[in-house]
């Protein structure tokens, strides 16, 4: 029998559902990352999951992002498309006490470390103190495991079942 | 653990079917060709409950491999364990609304080492050759029949401990030497391209999570693949039924990476149904801290389980300091 594994994409996804017996749909904070990315601005960091200060952010990868940096490790998972990540070893990295990603300016000071090319299903480590920048020739989708920060965008009513 | 091993109470093998019976406090556990039977005292009488042997072994296997996990591991609607992190409750009917109201439930707390040693002894004795409690039903032999050999290799698996990310030096390994599961034969196996500038060799890291998951040889057994402080990514591959109804002592999140899982969600304390949640590729949903859940996956699927291991969370949810719902909107 032919195997067919279903991965969603920004142009082809089907959202699931909640059949309630009691309680409220909003308690499940149910959204879909492709749906969120389809309605987001490029590289807007939209929170789709939040566990106290920890978050999962979805980004619509389109064109070139600003340079970001973070005082702690983060991880990005490419869920759709192809995305290149450039890295710079920052001369003046964000404080390790600072939670979440910050903008690192147009030309972060430091040495170029190299780049990583991601396709769907690839996960990259965004190491603490390294500036990183995404670029995507066609629209892709990233999911980032990080901590709630200044750039995190929360718009739960727009993205979730209520 | 060695002291606990000597405290495991077991009978000699049955002359009829070859299996040992076990005692855990006032609980008595036995199995025959088809069923596991649990007895306990309540209201001055000896109560009993039966489960199919395969379902019991799959549930017990997860409880052992997950070290009693976060909160409640309901083997079914009657028996299960509650993790107090150092001590563990084994209960019958305590988290079943009807049995609890009737007063025929029973719970007893054990040192975690003793209950772990007892469960491991049960698995060693009750898992027959050819049956792998971690495997999807179509990928393993039968759990039924009289005692026939053992499958120690299959039951000695544990959750993979990852410090930061698989594949880093000194961290958990990738799965390049494992075969691609039949249900993920179409999943691309290419790895990310890593281009490092001179002087930065080994300082960039990436891997194919989907390739890694496509080579998992177990179901419903999360492996840590990313650690951000106390935030753990624990993706897993799922087929058939989650062998337990997991009762949450904290909020956890599910992100459906591929295919589809349907979740039955019930009240954590009574088991009363609350909802059915259908998750398709790309869907994100919270499992609140006041529910239990069990999943169904027809096509083997990839599920990203996301956990928060901040110390003290069970107490903070139990006391009402934290809402069982992660976001108020």
DSSP string, A120-162: TTEEEEE-TTEEEEEEEEEEEEEEEEEE--TTEE--HHHHS--
DSSP state for residue B249 in the 8-state scheme: S
Nearest CA-CA partner of A17 in A8, A29, A30: A30
Q: Does any domain span residue B163?
A: no
Residue-level pLDDT at B154:
87
Quick check: B174 contacting A, CB < 8 Å? no
Quick check: B225 contacting A, CB < 8 Å? yes
Torsions phi, psi of A124, nearest 5? -120, 145
Of B273, B280, B325, the CB nearest to A14: B280
Quick check: A79 contacting B, CB < 8 Å? yes
**End-to-end CA gap in chain B:** 47
Query: Residues A94-148: pLDDT tens digits?
Result: 999 999 999 999 999 999 999 999 999 999 999 999 999 999 999 999 999 999 9
Of B197, B277, B329, the CB nearest to A28: B277
Question: Which residues are bridge partners to A123 per DSSP?
Answer: A77, B207
Q: Report the chain A residue with the minimal C-alpha distance to residue B283.
A: A32
User: Rounded CA gap, A128 and A105, in Å?
Assistant: 16
Domain co-membership, B151 together with B209: no
Cβ-based contacts of B164 with chain A (< 8 Å):
73, 125
Q: Does any domain span residue B85?
A: yes
Residue-level pLDDT at B116:
96
Residue-level pLDDT at B1:
55
Domain co-membership, B277 together with B141: no
Cβ-based contacts of A111 with chain B (< 8 Å):
197, 199-200
Domain co-membership, B74 together with B136: yes
Domain co-membership, B131 together with B199: no
Q: Report the chain B residue with the minimal C-alpha distance to residue A51.
A: B326
- Which CATH number fits the domain that encloses residue B226? 2.60.120.10
Last residue in a domain, options B140, B155, B170: B155
Tally of domains within chain B = 2
Give the domains, in start order, of chain A with CATH numbers.
Answer: 25-159 (2.60.120.10)
Quick check: B153 contacting A, CB < 8 Å? no
Residue-level pLDDT at B158:
67
Looking at CA atoms only, how far is residue B78 from chain A in angstroms?
21
Q: Does any domain span residue B329?
A: no
User: Rounded CA gap, B38 and B159, in Å?
Assistant: 27
The tokens describing A46, both together, are 């939209």
Task: Please answer yes or no on whether A54 and B203 come within 8 Å at the CB atom.
Answer: no
Quick check: A161 contacting B, CB < 8 Å? no
Torsions phi, psi of B182, nearest 5? -55, -35
Quick check: A114 contacting B, CB < 8 Å? yes
Q: Which residue segment(s) compose the domain that B224 sits in?
A: 182-318
Domain co-membership, B195 together with B61: no
Using alpha carbons only, what angle is made at residue A143 by residues A11 and A32, rounded to the nearest 5 degrees? 50
Residue-level pLDDT at B59:
98
Task: Please answer yes or no on whether B288 and A28 come within 8 Å at the CB atom.
Answer: yes
Of A26, A52, A73, the CB nearest to B329: A26
Classify the complex by whether its ipTM is higher than 0.90, answering yes or no: yes
Stretches in chain B below the pLDDT threshold 50: none
Domain co-membership, B136 together with B202: no
Rounded percentage of chain A residues whose pLDDT exceeds 70: 100
Taking a C-beta distance cutoff of 8 angstroms, is the pair B300, B184 a contact?
yes
Task: Please answer yes or no on whether A125 and B165 come within 8 Å at the CB atom.
Answer: yes
Cα-trace Rg, chain B? 21
Lowest mean pLDDT among A26-40, A78-92, B159-173: B159-173
Q: Does any domain span residue B254?
A: yes
Looking at CA atoms only, how far is residue B286 from chain A in angstroms?
5
Domain co-membership, B207 together with B295: yes
Q: Does any domain span residue B171?
A: no
Q: pTM of the prediction? A: 0.95
Quick check: B272 contacting A, CB < 8 Å? yes
Quick check: B235 contacting A, CB < 8 Å? no
Cβ-based contacts of B276 with chain A (< 8 Å):
18-19
Nearest CA-CA partner of B88 in B72, B77, B100, B101: B72
Q: Does any domain span residue B327?
A: no
Q: Does any domain span residue B242?
A: yes
Domain co-membership, B128 together with B47: yes
Residue-level pLDDT at B172:
96
Task: Please answer yes or no on whether A30 and B326 come within 8 Å at the CB atom.
Answer: no
Domain co-membership, B187 together with B150: no
What residue has token string 């494992």?
A: B178
Per DSSP, the three-state class of B138 is helix
CA of B136: how far to CAs of A76, B17, B38, B203, B226, in Å?
30, 26, 25, 38, 26
CA of B152: how far to CAs of B122, B132, B306, in Å?
12, 9, 30
């Amino acid at each position: 029998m032919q195997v067919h594994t279903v991965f969603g994409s920004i142009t082809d996804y089907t959202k699931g559902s909640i059949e309630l017996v009691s309680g409220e749909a909003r308690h499940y904070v149910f959204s879909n990352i492709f749906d969120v990315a389809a309605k987001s601005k490029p590289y807007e960091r939209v929170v789709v999951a939040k566990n106290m200060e920890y978050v999962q952010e979805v980004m619509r990868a389109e064109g070139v992002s600003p340079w970001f940096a973070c005082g702690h490790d983060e991880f990005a998972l490419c869920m759709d498309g192809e995305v290149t990540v450039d890295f710079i070893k920052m001369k003046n990295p964000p404080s390790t006490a600072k939670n979440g990603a910050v903008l690192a300016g147009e030309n972060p000071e430091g040495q170029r470390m190299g780049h990583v090319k991601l396709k769907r299903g690839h996960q990259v480590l965004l190491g603490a103190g390294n500036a990183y920048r995404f670029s995507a020739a066609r629209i892709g989708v990233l999911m980032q495991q990080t901590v709630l920060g200044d750039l995190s965008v929360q718009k739960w009513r727009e993205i979730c079942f209520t | 653990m060695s002291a606990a091993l000597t405290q495991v109470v077991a009978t000699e093998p049955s002359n009829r079917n070859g299996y040992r019976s076990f005692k855990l406090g006032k609980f008595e556990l036995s199995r025959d060709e088809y069923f596991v039977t649990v007895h306990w005292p309540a209201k001055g009488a000896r109560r009993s409950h039966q489960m199919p042997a395969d379902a019991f072994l799959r549930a017990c296997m997860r409880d052992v491999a997950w070290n009693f996990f976060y909160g409640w591991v309901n083997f079914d609607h009657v028996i299960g364990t509650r993790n107090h992190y150092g001590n563990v409750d084994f209960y019958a009917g305590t988290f079943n609304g009807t049995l609890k109201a009737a007063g025929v439930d029973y719970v007893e707390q054990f040192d975690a080492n003793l209950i772990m040693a007892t469960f491991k002894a049960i698995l060693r004795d009750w898992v027959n050759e050819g049956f792998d409690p971690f495997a999807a039903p179509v990928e393993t032999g039968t759990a039924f029949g009289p005692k026939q050999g053992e499958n120690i290799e299959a039951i000695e698996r544990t959750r993979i401990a990852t410090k930061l990310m698989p594949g880093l030096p000194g961290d958990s390994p990738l799965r390049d030497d494992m075969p691609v599961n039949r249900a993920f034969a179409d999943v691309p196996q290419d790895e990310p391209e890593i281009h490092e500038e001179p002087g930065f060799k080994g300082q960039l890291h990436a891997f194919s999570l989907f390739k890694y998951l496509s080579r998992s040889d177990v179901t419903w057994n999360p492996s840590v693949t990313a650690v951000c402080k106390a935030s753990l990514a624990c993706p897993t591959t799922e087929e058939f039924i989650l062998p337990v109804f997991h009762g949450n002592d904290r909020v956890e999140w599910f992100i459906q990476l591929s295919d589809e899982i349907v979740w039955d969600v019930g009240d954590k304390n009574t088991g009363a149904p609350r909802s059915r949640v259908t998750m398709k590729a790309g869907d994100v949903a919270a499992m609140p801290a006041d529910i239990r859940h069990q999943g169904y996956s027809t096509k083997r699927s990839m599920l990203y389980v996301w956990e928060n291991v901040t110390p003290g969370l069970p107490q903070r949810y139990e006391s009402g300091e934290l809402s069982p719902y992660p976001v108020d909107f």
